[in-house]
Structure 1
């Protein structure tokens, strides 16, 4: 057993290529600086006292920088539970903003995750009044809304409605809110004077070519079932950083693809030649035979 990889990976060193590929592709929690920064701030908001103007947070960064990974992990560690009376308790409500211009969709998604199974009221105001009641019943302490940047393409009237909904919901529920997305989120929040004053900014930057990035790479390689140890020198880190442009998700995909190539060619360690600069290329496969579908022949009459 190699001492520099985690036990789950070590147990797969002699497994089939398919089994190792499957493990390589799984999500893995690596506590990056951005991951820790986000989770620490979320924990502070979750523990905040209920006040008339609760603190709110906007998390902004490029796609793939690690926002969703940190937010999802935080919510997953606080799953909904049933009280002794059978009521659903949702301490952290985690939803995504709808892909189409429809604020009722957001309300419906939130209500559904709070355990509401009936049709929503017809009136817009009644919908959000119901939502406040559901948040109270569920003892919700934090609301997380992702992919807010999709609003940037919505009609101006819908954006104004969004501003009003967020202000009202924050005031009435007294629950801290976290809005997450790409840089368009700041433009959306800054479009309303009150929201601009209420939302703290947490702006995430891509990895720099430094020791922190090398540490992340080293930590991630410990989760990959390769029989030989990868040499992490300056040229390796420079090539990887250039290929992934400092984006966490892209770095992970580049390493996953490189590890698969290293398994297939027998190197069993990632070398510079395995690192492909274009992470959009199809990943290598195990070469398993595909079963062709049989088609029924028509009978001649």
Structure 2
């Protein structure tokens, strides 16, 4: 099925400017578009981005401020740091040298200093060397961070530190404290509520981190506004009125206050709306979604 190229532009007023050309796309092309990640700039996310921008521009000092981004699983943390990284991608400078202002890595699930340095090196696009000594890996990572003019290090899944025994936890936290001080760059750590407990095991370190909290959504004006934002990016030819009371209540129930789950529900519903020819998300389409299958689209 191919979308009609004669669809009046006025009928696409529910879409944002960058979606106004979807009428010329085939159904399959719009299904692919529905499955793509799209940045939804709700108020908490915009505020978080601004705080990260402010931190990136902070003058160098031996005691740099840092940020902890904390929230439940599926509540927008990874999307937030992904958006920030996209706004500050690696670049090639006029002299031909590379620069990576924002480096993003994930704390290893089985944390150790050796794995940390190996993963950090890989996050900067350099082949891993798992056989080297901890000291050699640390020296290589520090040199890379400096040569790439890194201005911020972001560490996702920081709560994985708790997977190690107590001595290893203390060792990793001390390493983070020293890393920020030596390079004089801000460090952003990201994780669930357990991340707070991770930092609190070192009171000195905990005092250096200001929190950005991404709470679970409640059924109110902010959630309705979020749905209206989704309506503007989902590539459907008809208006669904996601922010209307009936669909808003249904979507809140299905998402359980998680923006990650809401995104999965809306992607799957949009795909079904295109395939069925309805071209809008309806209560019937939502009722027909298989809850077990909502982990993917």
TM-score band, normalised by the shorter chain? 0.7 to 0.9
Given that residues 111 and 160 in structure 2 are in contact (C-alpha distance below 8 angstroms), is that contact kept between their aligned partners in structure 1? no
User: How far does the alpha carbon of each residue in 1:129-163 deviate from its partner, in whole angstroms, 9 at most, with x for none?
Assistant: 44333322222111101111222222323212211
Alignment match, 2:3: none
Q: Which has the larger radius of gyration?
A: 1
Mean Cα displacement is larger for which, 137-146 or 229-238? 229-238
CA distance in 2, matches of 1:67, 1:47: 21
Match status 1:216 vs 2:226: yes
Match status 1:236 vs 2:247: yes
CA distance in 1, matches of 2:218, 2:45: 15
Please report the TM-score for the alignment, with normalisation by the length of structure 1. Answer: 0.85
Q: Which runs of 5+ in 2 are unaligned?
A: 1-8
What's the offset of the Cα at 1:72?
Answer: 1.0
DSSP 3-state at the match of 1:270:
coil
DSSP 3-state at the match of 2:121:
helix
Given that residues 259 and 269 in structure 1 are in contact (C-alpha distance below 8 angstroms), is that contact kept between their aligned partners in structure 2? yes
What's the offset of the Cα at 1:169?
Answer: 0.6
CA distance in 2, matches of 1:278, 1:70: 28
What's the offset of the Cα at 1:102?
Answer: 3.1
Alignment match, 2:72: 62
CA distance in 1, matches of 2:72, 2:201: 20
Alignment match, 1:273: 284
Given that residues 128 and 169 in structure 1 are in contact (C-alpha distance below 8 angstroms), is that contact kept between their aligned partners in structure 2? no
Counterpart among 95, 101, 115 of residue 105 in structure 1: 115
DSSP 3-state at the match of 1:206:
coil
Residues 217 and 100 of structure 1, relative CA distance in 2, 3 Å threshold: same
Given that residues 107 and 131 in structure 1 are in contact (C-alpha distance below 8 angstroms), is that contact kept between their aligned partners in structure 2? yes
Alignment match, 1:141: 151
Q: Please identify which structure carries the higher helix content.
A: 2
Match status 1:255 vs 2:266: yes
CA distance in 1, matches of 2:126, 2:266: 42
User: How far does the alpha carbon of each residue in 1:59-99 deviate from its partner, in whole angstroms, 9 at most, with x for none?
Assistant: 11011111111111111221122334443211111111122
Q: Which runs of 5+ in 1 are unaligned?
A: 286-301
CA RMSD across the alignment: 2.4
Instruction: Give aligned pairs, total.
Output: 285
Alignment match, 2:101: 91
